[in-house]
Amino acid sequence: MTAQKLDIEVLVVFASTGGSTRRAAQAHADGAAAAGARAATIDAATATAADLLRANALILGSPIHMGTPHWEMKRGLSDAIGRASFGLLPSGVG
């Protein structure tokens, strides 16, 4: 039985040190695709504002070091979100 195609774009953004989180990200994307969504993975270091804005749903995956997400996840998303929100938020917000 094939899944009904959904008009949903799922983006799995990940940072991975040893490859485990990369494999988990791919498994999540495969599951979303099996459910009928368009799904892709992208490394947090290369994610752009356009990537984030195109997606209807984001799944974030990162190893945790000393209680915080991987530095590439924090930096990559901060940069991309900053660029995505520039000019899109009402004056005085952000």
- Class of 9-84 per CATH? alpha beta
Q: 61-74 pLDDT, tens per residue?
A: 988 888 888 788 88
pTM for the whole thing? 0.77
Instruction: State which residues of the chain have pLDDT below 50.
Output: 89-94
pLDDT for position 11:
95
pLDDT for position 4:
78
The answer to whether 92 and 63 have CB atoms below 8 angstroms apart is no
pLDDT for position 25:
97
Surface-to-core class of residue 51, CB atoms within 10 Å of its CB (0-12 exposed, 13-18 middle, 19+ buried): middle
